[in-house]
Amino acid sequence: MQNTQVHHDIFKDSEIEETIDRIQENHEIKLNDVIYLLESQEIQRLGLVGNSIREGMFGKNVTFINNIILNYTNVCVTYCKFCAFYRPPGHEESYTVSKEEILNRVIFAKSNYNIKQVLFQGGHNPKLDTEYFEDIFKTLKAKCPDVAIHGLSASEVDMIARVDRTSPLEVLSRLQVAGLESLPGAGAEILVDEVKDVISPLKISSQTWLDIMEKAHSIGIKSSATMMYGTVESVEQRARHILKIADLQRKTNGFMAFIPWSFEPNKTEMQGTGLVQHPMGGFELLKMISVSRIVFNGLIDHLQSSWLTNGIGMAQLAIYHGSDDFGGTLIGEEVVSATGARSTELLSKNIITAIKAMGYKPAERNNSYDIVKQY
């Protein structure tokens, strides 16, 4: 008798279906609905919906990009408690990569791995001005015109503007002319200042992040939006973050992809002080992927599950929950490896194998998410 009751409970019309239908039909995203989905334990149901939306949009294609991560400096004056990568100015382990070395790395990666993108990110270094980046971007574009520059988070742009005593829009305009194509979503973490005050008190405010993204979008620089969850934030604060991204997207349509990733506490100050001991784990990640797919349906097309922070098995599972992009091959990554999280060089053949193993079709994309090669 009990068994039939259990089955009945699983399949009966439920609040979760009503909530999902409401979001899908009205394209109205209400805070309480997002909180309800994020708190739900019905991970399979959310996953089925997330997967069916993804399949409707992309069929069996799952994309990735051949790219290199170039961490041009680890000098940073923002001292975020969740970061194991930065070094203060003057520290014996601090570095800034020379223009020659940057060029060599990109040319090497282009000739050996046929990369389509350089992900150009680093610390907030008070010695680097707009000209430093203009010079590098122009040189890169001259030597490797078909490698897109996906670089500089909103907080890096803010730092460069401070160094030059100018506006973020001025910095963006100049760098766009020099060859900057799009911005990564880093620096968002959780777009609620109560969270930022704890984990990154010296970093730009939530509103500044949104403003800089809006300015970038206004001049035709597209970007990613990210979310780093699993520090000190509440479920409601995660939901607020999602709503803020959705609101800006309605206004600008400038976000190409949403990338949620789970905080890795290892070797960071937050672990050292006991604020966060463990990463959140796979259940929350898959739920986050499904909920993001449901909420951003019709707003943001691409949903990336980073194998880098989540591991390759989780990235595979995330596809069944709604993600359509595996991220990059990331040759030469330094930020996550500073936490000792896991091996960070995953060449395209590993990604292709991982996607095929699940019965999907691997497709290589470019920086704008156009498919350039099917496997």
In this prediction, residue 158 carries a pLDDT of 97
- Report strand pairing: 61-65 vs 148-151: unpaired
CA–CA distance, 201 with 288 (Å, rounded to integer)? 25
In this prediction, residue 342 carries a pLDDT of 47
Q: At 373, which helix (H) or strand (E)?
A: strand 371-374
CA–CA distance, 262 with 249 (Å, rounded to integer)? 23
Mapped onto helix, strand or coil, the DSSP state of residue 177 is helix
Q: At 355, which helix (H) or strand (E)?
A: helix 348-356
Pull the structure tokens for residue 339: 């936490």
Digit-by-digit pLDDT tens for the chain (375 residues) are 444 444 445 445 688 989 999 998 877 899 999 999 999 999 999 999 999 999 999 999 999 999 998 999 999 999 888 888 899 999 999 999 999 999 999 998 888 888 999 999 999 999 999 999 999 999 999 999 999 999 999 999 999 999 999 999 999 999 999 999 999 999 999 999 999 999 999 999 999 999 999 999 999 999 999 999 999 999 999 999 999 999 999 999 999 999 998 888 888 888 888 888 877 778 899 999 999 999 999 999 999 987 776 778 888 999 999 999 998 887 765 555 555 544 445 678 888 999 999 999 999 999 999 999 999
| Residue 15 in domain | no
Of 288, 317, 320, nearest to 39 by C-alpha is 288
Is 153 marked as binding a ligand? Answer: yes
Residue with tokens 């791995």: 113
Contact 294, 24 (CB under 8 A): yes
In this prediction, residue 139 carries a pLDDT of 96
CA–CA distance, 142 with 259 (Å, rounded to integer)? 30
| Residue 8 in domain | no
φ, ψ for residue 227, nearest 5 deg: -150, 120
Is 306 marked as binding a ligand? Answer: yes
Q: What is the CATH number of the domain that holds 265?
A: 3.20.20.70
Pull the structure tokens for residue 283: 């259940």
- C-alpha of 164 from chain center: 27
Residue with tokens 């959780």: 190
| Residue 303 in domain | yes
- Identify the domain containing residue 335 by its residue range: 31-374
| Residue 185 in domain | yes
Q: Within 13 Å and on the Cβ side, how many CA atoms surround 123?
A: 25
DSSP characters over 222-238: EEEEEEEESSS--HHHH
Tell me the CA end-to-end span of the chain in Å, nearest whole number.
50
DSSP 217: H
For residue range 8-43, list pLDDT tens digits in order.
Answer: 454 456 889 899 999 988 778 999 999 999 999 999
Question: Distance of CA 360 to CAs 57, 61, 308, 348, 373, Å?
Answer: 14, 6, 20, 15, 14
Contact 146, 112 (CB under 8 A): no
Is 144 marked as binding a ligand? Answer: no
CA–CA distance, 117 with 180 (Å, rounded to integer)? 11
| Residue 267 in domain | yes
Is 223 marked as binding a ligand? Answer: no
- Count of structural domains within the chain: 1
| Residue 196 in domain | yes
| Residue 11 in domain | no
Is 189 marked as binding a ligand? Answer: yes
Q: Within 13 Å and on the Cβ side, how many CA atoms surround 270?
A: 24
| Residue 276 in domain | yes
Task: Output the pTM of the full model.
Answer: 0.91
For residue range 89-130, list pLDDT tens digits in order.
Answer: 999 999 999 999 999 999 988 888 889 999 999 999 999 999
Q: Within 13 Å and on the Cβ side, how many CA atoms surround 375?
A: 21
Buried b (16+ CB within 10 A) or exposed e, 251-268: ebebbbbbbbbbbbbeeb
